[in-house]
Amino acid sequence: MKKIVLTISQLRNKNVLVIRFIYDNEIKEHLKKLKNVVWSKTLRSFYTELSLENLRIVFNHLKKSNWTVEYLELQPFIDKSKIEAKRNSHLINQLPEIYEFELQKFKKWLFQKRLSKNTVNTYVDVTSIYIKYSLLKNTELFSSKIVEAFSYDYIFVPNKSVSYQNQFISGIKKFFEYKGYSYEEIHIERPRKEKKLPIILSGTEIKALFNTVTNLKHKALLSLLYSAGLRIGEAINLEINDIDSQRMLIHIKQAKGKKDRYTLLSPAFVKILRAYYIAYKPEKYLFEGQKGGKYSNTSAQKVLKNALFRSGITKKATLHSLRHSFATHLLEKGTDIRYIQELLGHSSPKTTMIYTHVTAPSLKKIKNPFDDLF
């Protein structure tokens, strides 16, 4: 019995369907009959573009009485693709040109409102999906019934996140405003936001994390996020001149809410930063990609993921967890919460108050009644 295993791998930053087997000339020649299946020297195997259709073609092509085809690793992809296909069955495949043009005008209108690039792209995306849905249903765009139906079919049934639902409501509300319709007449309540406490890394865990990072650039980036309490977007937008080593401050320009602020420049971090600067010599941005320009968010996430794995930390920490940890550790050391609010760039002290729920000293002060029983 000849065994063939279908798996997923990456080639040129794209997921591909890989066909692995112990060398067999019969299988090799049989695979060559498929037009879209080719040999890769890098993967040392045959592969094709990853899609449900290609998976079906390859699987059926390899079905022979004395061959077995395993695809267990592909099951999560198959399940996800089926859910995606079912969800997109509510949408037309392609927007008519007149609506594409309308969305471009809507996009310009949003930029004129001085919304951020990410917000504009999100609003345009959700509006595009909403229009595709309403066109498939062949109904009026600006009615409460179609908004409610879309919310149910495209958000509730596939169990989209609360944040996505809020983005949808905000995006459609702006589209209605752009077209001169009153969204308020359509009564769709925003879902309550989940109140989750942030994931905090202890001082010991932070130290262990940094000790596993040997790449100077990666260490400098993670150290900056923690030592200055920055959002990843703020860190990768930093320019060299934003570092004020004379006043030991970092100038954050036009951050969330289009606000400037200053935050701390750690003396210990300055040593790491100087070594990094000498080694990498960035030209404009403090952290730049291999081909210049800003360092990517995705690359930064991979850096943290690898560091967490090597340090043995099992908490589901993210880059934002370093910012959360900075704020919590400051609070635990007795820093006034109003100063922490300024350093983080929070508009309201209520946002900063969340860290009072996760500080160790405040919890340790509470005497557990169970201890009085013994």
DSSP per position, 214-270: --HHHHHHHHHHHHHT--HHHHHH-BGGGEETTTTEEEE-S-TTS--EEEE--HHHH
Class of the CATH domain delimited by 97-185: mainly alpha
Q: Which of 219, 323, 324, 329 is catalytic?
A: 323
Catalytic hit among 47, 123, 295, 355: 355
CB neighbour class for 316 (10 Å; exposed up to 12, middle 13-18, buried from 19): exposed
End-to-end alpha carbon distance in the chain:
66
For residue 205, give the amino acid letter. Answer: E
Whether 99 sits among the annotated catalytic residues: the reply is no
Report the run of H or E that residue 358 belongs to, with start and end: none
Alpha helices of 34-116 — where are they, by DSSP H? 52-61, 75-88, 97-112
Q: Return the SS3 of 226.
A: helix
Question: One of 231, 276, 295, 329 is an active-site residue; which one?
Answer: 231
Instruction: Please give the Cα distance from 20 to 56 (Å, whole number).
Output: 16
State the CATH architecture for 203-363.
Orthogonal Bundle (1.10)
Query: CA–CA separation, 180 vs 202, rounded Å?
Result: 51
Task: State the amino acid at position 335 in one-letter form.
Answer: T
Annotation says 329 is catalytic = no
Local mean pLDDT, 10-residue blocks, the chain (374 residues): 87 86 90 89 88 85 84 79 57 75 92 86 88 80 77 72 79 87 63 74 92 93 93 91 91 82 90 93 89 86 91 91 91 86 85 75 65 67
> Distances in Å between the alpha carbon of 249 and those of 150, 283, 287?
48, 20, 17
Establish whether 357 is a catalytic residue: no
Catalytic residue among 256, 261, 294, 310: 256
> Would you state the pLDDT for residue 66?
83
Q: State which amino acid sits at residue 264.
A: L
Which one, of 32, 55, 40, 31, lies nearest residue 10 by Cα? 40
Determine whether 183 is an active site residue: no
> How many other CB atoms are there within 10 angstroms of residue 323's CB atom?
21
Q: In 219-306, where do the E strands start and end?
A: 243-244, 249-252, 261-264
Query: What pTM, to 2 d.p., does this model score?
Result: 0.58
Could you confirm whether 274 is annotated as catalytic?
no
Joined together, the tokens standing for residue 355 give 């860290």
Rg of the chain over CA atoms, in angstroms? 26
The per-residue pLDDT for 177 is 87
The confidence score (pLDDT) of residue 362 equals 63
- How far apart (Å, rounded) are the C-alpha atoms in residues 247 and 318? 30
DSSP H helices, 16-161, are: 25-31, 52-61, 75-88, 97-112, 117-137, 144-150
| pLDDT at res. 374 | 64
Q: Per the residue annotation, which of 132, 174, 219, 346 is the catalytic one?
A: 346
Separation CA 75–CA 79 (nearest Å): 6
Q: Rounded to an integer, what distance in angstroms lies between the CA atom of residue 6 and that of residue 71? A: 5
Q: 346 an active-site residue?
A: yes
CA diameter of the chain: 77
DSSP for residue 32:
T
* Strand pairing class (2-11; 67-70): parallel
How many CA atoms does the CB half-sphere of 318 hold within 13 Å?
9
